[in-house]
Amino acid sequence: MKLTYCGHSTFLLETSTHRLVIDPFFDHNPASPLKAQDVACDFILVSHGHDDHCADAVPIAKRTGATIIANYEICEYFAKQGVKTHGMNPGGAHDFPFGRVKLTQAFHSSSTEVEGLNHYLGVACGLLIQADGKNLYHAGDTALFSDLKLYRRPKLDVAMLPIGDNFTMGPADALLALDLLQPRLAVPMHYNTWPLIAQDAPAFAKAAKRKRHKVVPLKPGAALEL
């Protein structure tokens, strides 16, 4: 299984059978090495409705025929734009051809702007993904909350955690999230896309190491073999 970071909170996940995109934000993501038109995938997972997590979901789904997996409200909204969707809600899991997805709680908002007004798009979520015998957690844009500890069983192979602060948890809270989640490996996300969320990922990794957590910051375009 290969996990490629595309900057911000965007990842490509290649399982033994399928290609997934998590939180597709390519064309207006200054950190992304890819454009939406270059992305090939079978499924698109979306944590919440903010543009920096799903701006390219519908164009990619239209071009590739990929199914979008997200909360019910996002799926209803996207389905009306003519793409395949699979709506879920926190606590619910479903078996897909590539593996199992469970939506988790996340403390954040979820909306999209239409004609200058923000429209509610269901609750923000995190994503637990089981595929090829691995357990992955993409935290979305969540704040720190103590029930993160509920997601540490089964043992997480990888946790993708925001560290940018301002809109999500920052590095200090992400360190506490690592204590609760205890993943084998964590990859920081949602930082350095813009000056407002600039963070020192190597310093975060060092602080995590002092607490016996393994954090691997990935440069956009870099990949992990799992």
Q: Which is nearer to Mn ion, 131 or 189 (CB)?
A: 189
Give the C-alpha separation, 84 to 205, whole Å: 38
Q: Could you tell me which stretch among 28-36, 48-56, 58-66, 68-76 binds Ni ion (CB under 5 A)? A: 48-56
| Sign of the four-CA dihedral 11, 15, 20, 26 | positive
Q: Which one of Ni ion, Mn ion, none interacts with residue 157, CB within 5 to 8 A by kind?
A: none
Between 141 and 157, name the residue whose CB sits nearer to Ni ion. 141
Q: Which is nearer to Ni ion, 50 or 134 (CB)?
A: 50
Specify the residue, 99 or 164, whose C-beta has the smaller distance to Mn ion: 164
Give the C-alpha separation, 200 to 171, whole Å.
9
Q: Judged by CB under 5 A, does residue 50 bind Ni ion? A: yes
Provide the 8-state DSSP code for 220.
Answer: T
* Residue 77 near residue 83 (C-beta atoms within 8 A): no
Residues that bind Mn ion in the complex, under the rule CB under 5 A: 52, 141
Q: Give the tokens for residue 141.
A: 């844009």
Number of residues lying near Ni ion (CB under 5 A): 2
Is residue 68 within 8 A of residue 84, CB to CB? The reply is yes
Q: Of 14, 56, 73, 141, which lies in the binding site for Ni ion, with binding defined by CB under 5 A?
A: 141
- Asked if 170 contacts 180 with a C-beta cutoff of 8 angstroms, the reply is no
Q: How far is the CB of 140 from Ni ion (least distance, A)?
A: 7
From 10-18, 92-100, 134-142, 205-213, give the range in contact with Ni ion by CB under 5 A: 134-142
Query: Least distance to Mn ion from the beta carbon of 46, Å?
Result: 12
Q: By the 8 A CB rule, do 103 and 127 touch?
A: yes
* Minimum distance of Mn ion from residue 111's CB (angstroms): 11
| Binds 56: which of Mn ion, Ni ion, none (CB < 5-8 Å by kind) | none
> CB of 76: closest distance to Mn ion in angstroms?
21
Smallest gap from Cβ 23 to Mn ion, in A, equals 8
**Residue 180 neighbours by CB under 8 Å, 6+ apart:** 146, 148, 149, 152
Cβ nearer to Ni ion, comparing 15 with 105: 105
Which of 52/73 has CB closer to Mn ion? Answer: 52
Spatial neighbors of 129 by CB under 8 A, at least 6 apart, are 13, 20, 45, 99, 100, 101, 135, 136, 137, 138
Which residues bind to Ni ion, rule: CB under 5 A? 50, 141
